[in-house]
Amino acid sequence: MNNEFIKKETAVIHKGYLSHQHHDSLSVPLYQTSTFTFSSAEQGERRFSGEESGNIYSRLGNPTVRILEERIAELENGQSALAFGSGMAAVSAILIHVTKTGDHVLCSRGIYGCTFGLLEMMDEKYNISHSFSALSTEQEIEASIRPETVCIYVETPINPTMELVDLALVHKVAQKHGLKVIVDNTFSSPYLQNPLDFGADYVLHSATKYINGHGDVIAGLLIGNDMEDMMNLRMTVQKDVGGIISPFDAWLILRGLKTLHIRMDRHSENALKLVSFLQSTPVVTDILYPFHPSHPQFEIAKKQMTAGGGLISFNIKGGKEAAQYFMNALQLIKIAVSLGDAETLIQHPATMTHSVIPEVDREKMGITHSLLRLSVGLEHVDDIMADLEQAFAKVETHFAMAK
């Protein structure tokens, strides 16, 4: 079968793997090896000089990992991908690649807590500065760009406020100024949003989340369109900083990835039903889910996403005390950070994922003590709803809230 022009639903299962090259094994074999043998000293010389292609050492490439990279490149409509040992290894690799001392990174209004930590460290140690912008209009983006800006680093939807950034708009302005655009696409997965199609230069993922989807691996992926640039990244930052993925984790992700499309459809379907339920719940105030007509950015959502995924944030009446009481009253839903798993998870960003961000900055981002983030899982939606319902009822009774 021609592997070139297949749909995403087929690519998650087949792309990059030819069984006849692997003893006809149906499942991708796990090459759990650190190094590879050369048939002669001369062959070793040819492999190192690049005269002959082939495996050398697993930090420079591994057959199981390479299949994962090819599959992900296809899913993001990119030319090339690199796999890393964590989402943060992918984030740090690309930021090291595009910046040098004196440069400035322009970020979306919200970014992942550890990305924030990394940028703070780069500022302190290497004088690479950063700033934040809502990036909502051309004028606003223009005004945020400095002479020393080299890239725009975007998350959309933004964690945990679910605010969107218009990718086509960012690309338009970035192009005018010769800036690279980097998009953290973790929240949508490559099945729901493909930033390279909207002009981004690099897309990255915490594969820990939807891509693996089974809550048993930490990994990251970076995708780009410029083959030469990506090869350069592989042979410099990836090889020499060395934050690579283990073959076993790549193998687990290949296994999880086979159901990405089915999982994302169900996550999105369950989430939409829960948004309607939350809208009818008196103790819940703001429901933040962009792929819904009630959201102010629904038009942007429809333009760049095919569905909303499983993340819903909402505010609960009664502040931190009510939020924590509510979480403790849940029975089926687990209290945990991370997202994109089969299990429905809930967390309290102000005291958990975003607790490292100073309170004033947090409040500006809309991350108050009333905010909860729900990662809707794959259980039957009625069971998720029933659990939320009984916990909301306990909050109403305990805090004597009028219905």
Residues that bind ligand PLP (CB under 6 A): 86-88, 112, 114, 155, 159, 184, 186-187, 206, 208-209, 218, 220
Give 262-265 contacts, CB < 8 A, sequence gap 24+. Answer: 263/210, 263/213, 263/342, 263/378, 264/189, 264/191, 264/192, 264/210, 264/307, 264/309, 265/307
Between residues 88 and 135, which has the closer beta carbon with respect to ligand PLP?
Answer: 88
Q: Minimum distance from CB of 344 to ligand PLP (Å)?
A: 16
Is 266 a known active-site residue?
A: no
Tokens of 402: 């009028």
Q: Minimum distance from CB of 98 to ligand PLP (Å)?
A: 17
- Pairwise CA distance, residues 117 & 276, whole Å: 36
Catalytic residue among 59, 172, 258, 273: 59
Q: Minimum distance from CB of 120 to ligand PLP (Å)?
A: 15
Nearest alpha carbon to residue 261 among 3, 83, 69, 71: 71
Is 125 a known active-site residue?
A: no
Q: Is 311 helix (H, G, I), strand (E, B) or coil?
A: strand
- Pairwise CA distance, residues 338 & 335, whole Å: 10
Phi, psi of 347 (to 5 degrees): -145, 165
Tokens of 17: 């793997």
How are beta strands 311-316 and 284-288 bridged, if at all? antiparallel
Is 403 a known active-site residue?
A: no
Between residues 44 and 113, which has the closer beta carbon with respect to ligand PLP?
Answer: 113
Catalytic residue among 47, 209, 263, 266: 209
Between residues 186 and 270, which has the closer beta carbon with respect to ligand PLP?
Answer: 186
Is 103 a known active-site residue?
A: no
Closest residue to ligand PLP using C-beta atoms = 87
Q: Minimum distance from CB of 211 to ligand PLP (Å)?
A: 10
Fill in the DSSP letter of residue 78.
Answer: -
Catalytic residue among 15, 31, 71, 112: 112
Tokens of 329: 């009253």
Place of tokens 């090259």: 21
Between residues 141 and 204, which has the closer beta carbon with respect to ligand PLP?
Answer: 204
Between residues 312 and 391, which has the closer beta carbon with respect to ligand PLP?
Answer: 312
Whether 205 contacts 221, CB under 8 Å? yes
Q: Minimum distance from CB of 77 to ligand PLP (Å)?
A: 20
Please, how many CA atoms are within 13 Å of residue 66, restricted to the half-sphere of its CB? 14
Which residues have a catalytic role annotated? Answer: 59, 112, 184, 209
